[in-house]
Structure 1
Amino acid sequence: MINVGLSVIAYGFGDIRRGALLWLFEFMIAILFFPALKLYAAVGKHVEKYPRASQGFVILGISGLVFLEGALIGVPIWNLSQKHLALASSVTVTCEMFRLAMKIHAVAVACGPRCFGKGPPLPSFQHYVYFIFAPTLVYRDQYPRTKKTRWGVVLFHFIEVAAIIFYNSFLWERFILPYWSDYGKQSRVEAGTVVRGMFACVLPGVLSFLCGFYCVLQAWLNAFAEILRFGDRLFYEDWWTTSRFSRYYRAWNRVVYSWLRDHLYKPLAPRTGRAFSTFIVFFVSALAHEVVLALSFGFFYPVLMTEFGVLGVLMLPLTSTNGRRFPNVFNLFMWLSFFFGNGILWSLYPMEYFARKNCPPSESDSFFIPKSWSCPEIILKPNWTFQNPLDIVY
């Protein structure tokens, strides 16, 4: 039987109708924010004459924003927690949930003072919808625009997206699932088998990571930038040449980094200091990634949060100085960390997923407690031997 990834695609995008309905709800919340903002501004022009009332009106506006964003994030989380949605469909819904919430927040911060007659007028509905679909999370009244849409370029980028989805599914079906799909069917498994599977997932794991990076930040965003004639296309920088983790986090996803810098780091840094603000940025980003994975897989297993929010933060001071002194050495170190980090990710998450699927249910089963730690039992074979690769006869 030849596995080419089609079954993974069909399973991953299962129940696409429910996923589309959840996205439509999120989009309608984002659209509803605009008339609410216009109404708030219309009342705010009269309230600003009364200082005491204006303070309460500001609190009312913040409360309304929190309510809208809470509904935008809370309803999909509640829905997905009640009934599991297929992996790829769930990733799409949760990523869109955060994207639209970040868009609403950006517009609210930029246009909040304008509701009291300070600064330029509010944007038009057309410009607001343009921003909703534009490949940026930072609101501006004007964006650089190209002269025309090159539909051949758009088609090429969408073909890239389809090809990458197909190739990534092939990687999973051919190289990752064979190691872990039977995990939990036996009551015991040797530690050597687990370690061997982790090493086997290193290369397909990093290839999957690179495919995801190129699919989203190169092909998908450039396709929408071309459709909307969006001129600012610095979605990432050359992170693959860096020797410092701080540079990598700034360069590999400029879209999210710009939002975190403008709406989280800069407001916090003068009040809490740079170190604590940096920690908060990493924690919030890691938590958002973990929410996406938890709702998509159907369990909470903070492996990515540990790698990203703990080990990633610890690497900042280590590579800050040494990365400048020994750039080639630490660039190699970063790539090795990508390889082994992704190998661990694409091993532990499938192990937990199939342990929950294959192991018999028990009273101790929980959304937050990893089942793979107790089923199957991992045993250490006492007669391990290490063989010199040069002694192997082919």
Structure 2
Amino acid sequence: MASHEERNGIKTTNNKPENGRKKKILPTKTFKDRESLLTVLVENPHIKVVKHMFIASLIGLFVNTVAHDYFKNGKLKVGLGVISRGFDKLHLVVPAWGLLNICSILCYFCFNLWANVRIQMSPKVKYRQVWDLLWLFSVPIYYIIHFRAVSVFVGYFSLPIASATVLCLEQTRLLMKTHAFIRSNIEKVTSFKSHSDKDLKVASLSHYIYFLFAPTIVYSDTYPRRKTIRWNLIGQWFMEVIGVIFYYAFLLERFVIPGHKDVGLKPYSMSELFLMMCDHGTVGLLFLLLGFYVVLHTVQNLIGELMLFADREFYRDWWTSTNYSDYFRTWNIVVSDWLYTYVYKDCYELVVPGNKAFAKVLVFLLSAIVHEWILTYIFGFFLPALFLVFLFTGSCLTFLKTPDHSIVNILIWYCLALGSGWLVSLYSMEYFVRVNVPVENSTVRDFIVPRLFTLVSLEVDTT
């Protein structure tokens, strides 16, 4: 019977003794030819009905939006107003995205420069250590400059939410890929013997560029490939992306914007704000499910199909989870594999050998920081709600052992709906407070202190 690691595409590495002790080595990621789970499940007509239900609800929202546009406003927008405002200034994002890719390709040449010069130096020469330290310090500096440049660009041009989302997500993805390439190839260089008959083998430029665009952020010297592109699926997935964008627009126009657009213009009691947060549980859950479907299933499969990338395991059956540890491991395999390979595994093997608890907390801390950075520059303000959720669920609930029971799965779904609804409400209310009550000559304090709790009159409801 296959082990857990083998079932999930993980190859086990044997522990080797080191100075009389066994070195703690964790399994490594391997790639194989496989379809995404939903692609397989939808072949079952009973499961396919669930997809039809979402399409039917999209049609219902479309009809509802058309009716409201015509009878209340006297004109038809059909969600196009929200979409056009969200993706405004996309013409600025495209060249910026191209520049980010050029920087990532330049990292390949810099790595080869370091490697080729290093192997020419004698191990006894002190200059080699200086050469290594020079490039070692340049890597985190590059990461910091990368993050800072994008944040300045987003703020300077005041990119709207959707356009800023595209740029920030792409910038993070490319940085993760750059780090994966460097981390995966650095040991080849450091272990290479200068006077060996063998040549140093580092990835070719074409393979590196393929890796930059492939739907994975874990580097490998080889990936399983397919022979043909299924163009019928390309068309289907493209239409699904368009459909999800309109789905988001309808939800915003019908449920989120009307309830939050006046926040900051009139006083609200604490109970009114709390009720608004509780009213968006269903909308928050739909946001979560739509985000999962479009990013981790539709877009990833679309790119994978175009690039003939055979391993389509971008997620597993997270919806059946009965504990948060399984949920986080199976929700987003693309990111969780990167965190496991380059953060958890390195921390467990090199930083604090054998300490899984410390490695897990470090993973969630890094993930929380990056997620909060993305949201901060998407919305243009600092509201660490998601950061606190990540730390709480990651540092506390993932260590909690729960029974494998359907009741626990129901509770997890309820928590997902409640938490997602609260996050949608908090970020939406803070956004409209800043739109409705602008501040001239805003300071750093104004940027990081939520105005929702300083400008909104939180009158105690005594009725």
Q: Same fold (TM over 0.5)?
A: yes
**C-alpha deviations, 1:180-216, integer Å up to 9, x for none?**
0111111x11333223322221111110110010000
Q: Does 1:35 align with 2:113?
A: no
Letter in 1 for 2:224: P
- Find the aligned partners of 2:383 and 2:157 in 1 and give their Cα distance: 18
Provide closer, same or farther for how the CA distance between residues 9 and 97 of structure 1 changes in structure 2, counting only shifts above 3 A: same
- Find the aligned partners of 2:315 and 2:147 in 1 and give their Cα distance: 27
* Correspondence 1:332-371 to 2 at 5 A: 332-359=410-437, 361=439, 366-371=446-451
1:57 matched residue in structure 2: 131
**C-alpha deviations, 1:111-162, integer Å up to 9, x for none?**
2133353686111111111000000011111001112111221121111111
Q: State the shift of 1:233 in Å.
A: 0.8
Letter in 1 for 2:292: F
2:146 matched residue in structure 1: 72
Contact 1:164 1:215 in 2 (8 A): yes
- Find the aligned partners of 1:312 and 1:105 in 2 and give their Cα distance: 23
2:269 matched residue in structure 1: 190
* Correspondence 1:147-162 to 2 at 5 A: 147-162=227-242
Letter in 2 for 1:37: F
- Among 289, 293, 314, the alignment partner of 2:371 is 289
Q: State the shift of 1:219 in Å.
A: 0.2
- Find the aligned partners of 2:204 and 2:79 in 1 and give their Cα distance: 45
Q: Does 1:309 align with 2:391?
A: yes
SS of aligned partner of 2:446: coil
Contact 1:4 1:173 in 2 (8 A): no
- Find the aligned partners of 1:33 and 1:358 in 2 and give their Cα distance: 43
Letter in 2 for 1:264: V
- Find the aligned partners of 1:10 and 1:56 in 2 and give their Cα distance: 52
* Correspondence 1:364-383 to 2 at 5 A: 366-383=446-463
Contact 1:29 1:72 in 2 (8 A): no
- Find the aligned partners of 1:71 and 1:360 in 2 and give their Cα distance: 29
Contact 2:241 2:299 in 1 (8 A): yes
Q: State the shift of 1:83 in Å.
A: 4.3
Contact 1:80 1:295 in 2 (8 A): yes
Contact 1:217 1:236 in 2 (8 A): yes
Give the stretch that moved more between structures: 22-31 or 132-141.
22-31
Structure 1: state its 5+ residue gaps: 384-394
- Find the aligned partners of 1:328 and 1:200 in 2 and give their Cα distance: 25
Structure 2: state its 5+ residue gaps: 1-67, 70-76, 194-198
Q: State the shift of 1:313 in Å.
A: 2.2
Provide closer, same or farther for how the CA distance between residues 178 and 48 of structure 1 changes in structure 2, counting only shifts above 3 A: farther
SS of aligned partner of 2:447: coil
- Among 304, 308, 313, the alignment partner of 1:234 is 313
Q: Does 1:137 align with 2:211?
A: no
Q: State the shift of 1:71 in Å.
A: 3.0
Letter in 2 for 1:304: L
2:284 matched residue in structure 1: 205
SS of aligned partner of 1:23: helix
Letter in 2 for 1:211: L
Letter in 1 for 2:453: W
Provide closer, same or farther for how the CA distance between residues 360 and 14 of structure 1 changes in structure 2, counting only shifts above 3 A: closer
TM-score normalised by L of structure 2: 0.78
- Find the aligned partners of 2:361 and 2:122 in 1 and give their Cα distance: 37
- Find the aligned partners of 2:122 and 2:165 in 1 and give their Cα distance: 43
Letter in 2 for 1:192: S
Letter in 2 for 1:47: M
Identity %: 33
- Find the aligned partners of 2:453 and 2:159 in 1 and give their Cα distance: 24
SS of aligned partner of 1:372: helix
- Among 356, 359, 365, the alignment partner of 1:277 is 359
**C-alpha deviations, 1:344-385, integer Å up to 9, x for none?**
0011111111111112538886101010102221223212xx
1:390 matched residue in structure 2: none
Q: State the shift of 1:67 in Å.
A: 3.4
1:388 matched residue in structure 2: none
**C-alpha deviations, 1:270-322, integer Å up to 9, x for none?**
4332112111110110111111110011100000111112244211233x2x2
- Among 94, 117, 123, the alignment partner of 2:168 is 94
1:14 matched residue in structure 2: 88
Give the stretch that moved more between structures: 114-123 or 3-12.
114-123
- Among 98, 106, 130, the alignment partner of 1:24 is 98
Contact 1:4 1:174 in 2 (8 A): no
* Correspondence 1:313-328 to 2 at 5 A: 313-318=395-400, 320=401, 322-324=402-404, 327-328=405-406
Q: State the shift of 1:46 in Å.
A: 0.4
- Find the aligned partners of 1:334 and 1:323 in 2 and give their Cα distance: 12
Provide closer, same or farther for how the CA distance between residues 113 and 191 of structure 1 changes in structure 2, counting only shifts above 3 A: closer
Contact 1:33 1:68 in 2 (8 A): no
Letter in 1 for 2:317: D
TM-score normalised by L of structure 1: 0.91
**C-alpha deviations, 1:9-50, integer Å up to 9, x for none?**
111111112222321221111011122122222212202443
Letter in 2 for 1:356: R
- Among 158, 179, 185, the alignment partner of 1:105 is 179
Give the stretch that moved more between structures: 146-155 or 299-308.
146-155
1:248 matched residue in structure 2: 327
